[in-house]
Amino acid sequence: MTTRRRRFVPLALVVPLVAGCATSAEWTTWRGHPVHFASGDHLSFSIRNVEDSEPHVSRYDLSVARQERWWGDPVTVSQNEIVER
């Protein structure tokens, strides 16, 4: 094997293992919940509010989030940005 290939093989094996690593706080959150989303409403909200997009939050979302105790990274908006459904 060439020297270049000898360096590449271990790197190719390690990168996929560390690329998807979560922090200890994220693992704690995951262990505390048996599913990824609390409900279909939670899934719909998360799809609608992906990172780097303008948040779309309704009063219904807030109500259901409190009732179902949604988890994950919070989406924050001011009072005047809350939309009616």
pLDDT tens figures, 22-67: 788 877 877 887 788 889 999 999 999 988 888 999 999 999 999 9
pTM for this one?
A: 0.60
pLDDT of 20 strictly over 70 = no
Number of domains in the chain: 1
Domain assignment of residue 25, given as a range: 3-81
> Residue 58: its pLDDT value, please?
93
Ordered DSSP codes for the chain: --HHHHHHHHHHHHHHHHHT---HHHHHHHHT-SSSSSSHHHHHHHHHT-TTS----BHHHHHHHHHHT--SS-----GGGPBP-
